[in-house]
Homo-oligomer: A and B are copies of this chain.
Amino acid sequence: MAIYQATTSAPVNIACIKYWGKRDTKLILPTNSSLSVTLDQDHLRSTTTSRADPTFKKDTLWLNGQEEVIKDGGRMATCIAELKRLRKELVEDKDPDAPKLSTFPVHISSFNNFPTAAGLASSASGFAALVSSIATLYALPCDASALSLIARQGSGSACRSLFGGYVAWEQGTSPTGEDSYAIQIAPQSHWPDIHALICVVSDDKKGTSSTSGMQRTVETSPLLQHRIKHVVPQRMADISKAILERDFDTFAKITMADSNQFHAVALDTEPPIFYMNDVSKAIIALVVEYNRVAVLKTGKVKAAYTYDAGPNAVIYTPKENVKEIVQMIIKYFPQKEAFKDVFGIFGVQGVQGAVVDGFNEAVAKPFDVGAVKGLIHTKVGDGPRVLGDEEALLGPDGIPKTLA
């Protein structure tokens, strides 16, 4: 008997124009468009294997080897149901010979190669991998934008992980959400020079979840509506143009301003929401000072910080600056473990903390080891990849290999 199975991986994305607020919480329709950089799956990815089999008892999901309940009417169930509907309408109803996979239960095993403790949102890459895996299994004749409509209903920002490179999520206007999908502004190959340094910041307390936090902002922040109507549209246009022109200075300034404004509307919420802590703020102070020196020398900034709904910093920069930035971060935030130099920029002598000439070292105080508990160096990357069966996460019996 045939085995119907597909394995794909999908990338993490980090927004430059932030998504914060839904106009429809069920369909996950945002109050503003957003734009992100897709990060390289060679470093950070979710991998998902899905298999359809008539002998399976029910749709079942394992996440990192643990079975997760698929709640009726929940986001996961919605995604699976949508994909089954497309399989039936676009494949089975048109080709009587196509196997009726839409009627078979699916087993899904998904794995993130980055620890949850890293504080990186895994829902975007996770739902993107799930949707691309089942879409491959079902041989859906859909492009990435069409699939992004489904991933969006799993986790809003997941829709942007269906593409590599530089990706916009168009908010759309339809109440059905049919025009709220991701599009690629530019592929990775257009501007491959953008690198990312993720500073994993230690945090004592559990923050407000983005799902509940953003709706509190929608309900209580007087500033959010102004952001939505009068700030984001222009920024979307401007940063898209900057990407097409590979204009890092403009890209960076908009990225930093929009990170700040997202955290500003979170703070304008009742009660206020804080995602950045004193370590996050010290990293901002370092990047601001690093850019001040760069502007004095060249008239342009060299790095952009951005913060999602947590204390971690992501610093975007052209590759040539990564070395200086890692040295700067390590000077103020000594690391317990050696920097994982995946791009080989430091050579055998390893990393020493240092700042560039003219840098005012008093802009931040050095922290103890562990304040920044990890540094991940990656770069702009491609979209979901279809993997071979040798990378499948499900064993012959249809349960995760790790459980066999």
Binding site for B on A (CB under 8 A): 204-205, 222-223, 226-227, 230-231, 253, 256-257, 260-261, 263-265, 267-272, 274, 277-278, 281, 284, 288, 364-365
Contacts and interface: CB of A to CB of B under 8 A. Distances in A.
6 contacts: A205-B365, A222-B226, A257-B270, A260-B268, A272-B284, A274-B281
Contacts of A226: 222-223, 226, 230
B272 A268 contact: no
A201 to B, nearest CB: 12
Copies of this protein in the assembly total: 2
A203 to B, nearest CB: 10
Contacts of A271: 256, 284, 288
Contacts of A253: 270
Contacts of A267: 260-261, 263-264, 267
B260 A270 contact: yes
A268 B264 contact: yes
Contacts of A274: 281, 284
Given A222-B226, A222-B230, A268 B261 contact: yes
Contacts of A222: 226-227, 230-231, 261
Contact of A204 (B277, B284, B365): B365
A212 to B, nearest CB: 14
A175 B76 CA distance: 60
Given A222-B226, A263-B267, 11 more contacts: A205-B364, A226-B226, A226-B230, A260-B269, A260-B270, A261-B267, A264-B264, A267-B267, A271-B284, A272-B284, A278-B278
A268 to B, nearest CB: 4
Contacts of A264: 223, 264-265, 267-268
A209 to B, nearest CB: 15
A263 B264 CA distance: 8
A288 B272 CA distance: 9
B261 A223 contact: yes
Contacts of A261: 222-223, 267-268
A227 to B, nearest CB: 7
Contacts of A269: 260
Nearest to A365: B204
Contacts of A284: 271-272, 274
A256 to B, nearest CB: 7
Contacts of A230: 222, 226
Contact of A227 (B223, B277, B281): B223
Contacts of A227: 222-223
Nearest to A231: B222
A370 B268 CA distance: 29
Which of A253, A257, A267 has the most B CB atoms < 10 Å from its CB? A267
Which of A257, A263, A284, A364 has the most B CB atoms < 10 Å from its CB? A257
Contacts of A364: 205
A187 B253 CA distance: 48
A333 to B, nearest CB: 15
A365 B206 CA distance: 11
A262 to B, nearest CB: 10
A267 B263 CA distance: 7
Contacts of A365: 204-205
Which of A253, A272, A277 has the most B CB atoms < 10 Å from its CB? A272
